[in-house]
């Protein structure tokens, strides 16, 4: 199945413009989001002072599947209630097909961190507490999930070293 997105493609979201820089998976991409500092949100980017810019890497998730809309709705609903889920930053408007979400890029994930070095007891407790707090928020609002869903989204759990 060929992807409808390509490296170098510009995507326009509700709050920003993103350039695809790398494909990570069939439906997951890395993109660059240029942030112009000291520039009003309503101004044209070609008039902004480009000497005061920084770049942010984001994740673009794009697929024609009802689960993407469901993920968007759940993230919108819960991201103000827990910091344990990957934040939704934006939604792509152009192109509108395929649908796409812009998510925060995390520098590391738990799976990678645990393969690089053995986790300490304190780190394991921190991870368990973070997962249980996220589950408490989800279950408190009547949401149910399967263990497989948790494993599939394991890389979406924020990893921060408590020590």
Nearest to 81, CA basis, from 140, 1, 129: 140
pTM score over 0.85: no
Kindly report the backbone phi and psi dihedral angles of residue 15, in degrees, each rounded to the nearest multiple of 5, phi listed first.
-120, 0
Per-chain mean pLDDT for the chain: 78
First to last CA, the chain: 44
Please state the rounded mean pLDDT for residues 130-156: 68
Quick: pLDDT tens for 72-111.
Answer: 998 899 889 888 888 899 999 999 888 999 999 987 777 7
Query: Distance (Å, rounded) from C-alpha 33 to C-alpha 20?
Result: 9
Q: How confident is residue 152, by pLDDT bands cut at 50, 70 and 90?
A: very low
Maximum distance among all Cα pairs of the chain, rounded to whole angstroms: 52
The neighbouring-strand residues paired with 20 are 31
Domains of the chain: 10-104 (3.30.200.20), 110-156 (no CATH)
In eight-state DSSP terms, residue 141 is T
Asked whether residue 55 carries a pLDDT value surpassing 70, the answer given is yes
Q: 17 CB contacts (<8 Å, ≥6 apart)?
A: 10, 11, 33, 34, 45
In angstroms, the CA 149 to CA 36 distance is 37
Please state, in angstroms and rounded to a whole number, the distance separating the CA atoms of residues 90 and 82: 18
pLDDT of residue 161: 47
> What pLDDT is attached to residue 43?
54
- Confidence tier at 2 by pLDDT (50, 70, 90): low
Strand blocks (E) in the chain:
10-13, 17-25, 28-36, 53-62, 88-94, 100-104
What pLDDT band is residue 119 in, cutting at 50, 70 and 90?
confident
Q: What is the pLDDT of residue 99?
A: 92
More confident residue, 19 or 3: 19
- Of 153, 121, 122, give the one whose Cα is nearest residue 135: 153
- CA dist 21 and 57 (Å) reads 9
Confidence label for 38 from pLDDT (cuts 50, 70 and 90): very low
């Amino acid at each position: 199945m060929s992807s409808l997105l390509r490296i170098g493609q510009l995507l326009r979201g509700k709050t920003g413009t993103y350039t695809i820089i790398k494909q990570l998976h069939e439906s997951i991409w890395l993109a660059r989001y240029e942030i112009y500092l000291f520039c009003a949100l309503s101004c044209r980017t070609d008039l902004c002072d480009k000497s005061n810019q920084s770049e942010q890497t984001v994740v673009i998730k794009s697929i024609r599947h009802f689960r993407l809309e469901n993920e968007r709705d759940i993230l919108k609903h819960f991201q103000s209630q827990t910091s344990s889920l990957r934040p939704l930053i934006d939604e792509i408007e152009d192109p509108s097909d395929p649908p796409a979400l812009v998510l925060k890029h995390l520098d590391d994930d738990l799976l990678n961190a645990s393969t690089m070095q053995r986790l300490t007891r304190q780190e394991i407790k921190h991870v368990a507490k973070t997962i249980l707090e996220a589950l408490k928020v989800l279950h408190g609002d009547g949401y149910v999930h399967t263990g497989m869903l948790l494993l599939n989204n394991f890389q979406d759990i924020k990893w921060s070293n408590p020590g």
